[in-house]
Amino acid sequence: MGRFKWYVRAVATQVVRVTFTVEPNYAGWRLDRYLQEKIRRLSRERIQHLISSRLEAEGGRRLKPSTRVQPGLTFALLKDQEPEPETPLDFEVVHDDGALLVVDKPAGLPVHPTARYAAHTFTSVAKLRFPDRKVDPAHRLDRETSGLLACGSAPEVTRVLKRDFAHGRVAKTYLALAHGAPAEDRFVVDAPLALTGASAVRVRMHVDAAGLPSTTAFEVLERRTAPDGAPVALLACRPRTGRQHQIRAHLLHAGLPMVGDKIYGPDEHIFDRFTRREMTDDDRARLRLPRHALHAWKLELPHPVTRAAVALEAALPGDLAAFWDACERARRIA
């Protein structure tokens, strides 16, 4: 799937424009299918309504759901402006040499603008913090995932970085806290992933024979017991492919759902209640953490300009470390 960018700017006190430019790999797609690919949480019926009532195209061109899109086509969806959720807006710089910028993104900070987030995103904050540079992330981290995020500081640098990620020249290692007791200290999950429509959560990936090849290597770093007696494990996760939610989906497939995961955890309907702000005390107790316990721990990559090897690391953040320490204390007491 091709990359895309959303550029968001206010056009009135109550409306924002979310602008799309069609990438080459979507040539010939129906407009409603293209937008459904980009905004997966919305139904096709909702997408078609937005096209009919909230879409503006360059030159005043009228677009229909059935319009076949071509590369370079630019249009905007108008969205009623709502107060943005509060997010942590500060981040630590782990590496900065003027070309390659790597930061430790806090959990809760979205990388790119979405329907809910515009100013409260990493790209918006980076634009203010580095006004003389074109800081652009070369890969994605989910909003709740913390850790290392590699960025180029100029378009030509970012292009090289993105190519290195796409061609597998970047080694990524994540830390995850998972429910359960792995049978082995080292194991590999090789299971294709796809969006199948088999779930009430539209963005949930499923193991499916017709899906894209997906492989993740796991290593158990330590085993402990949670304060309530449940077994938990700290795992190093090394994805060999880069599918959406790959580590989370593969852990669930292995019978080791991630601590705090509202989609791939104990009950996918928790995510629906979360989006409607209707989570229960039982939901919170079953999750054990308010966010999924995934942290981008290590990056090893060739420098986008010099090609010298760069190795970086970001320590487990405070919220996950506190949970893990509590598990240790519970184990000692037992």
List, by residue number, the catalytic residues: 142
Cβ atoms of 148 and 102 within 8 Å: the answer is yes
Measured over the CA atoms of residue 46, residue 48, residue 53 and residue 58, the dihedral's sign is positive
Residue 264: CB atoms within 10 Å = 21
- The whole-angstrom separation of Cα 40 and Cα 21 is 17
The three-class DSSP label of residue 244 is coil
Strand, coil or helix: what is 330? helix
Amino acid (one-letter) located at 194: A
Token pair in block for residue 86 = 């509060």
Other Cβ atoms within 10 Å of 307 Cβ, number: 12
**Local structure of residue 160 (DSSP, 8 states):** H
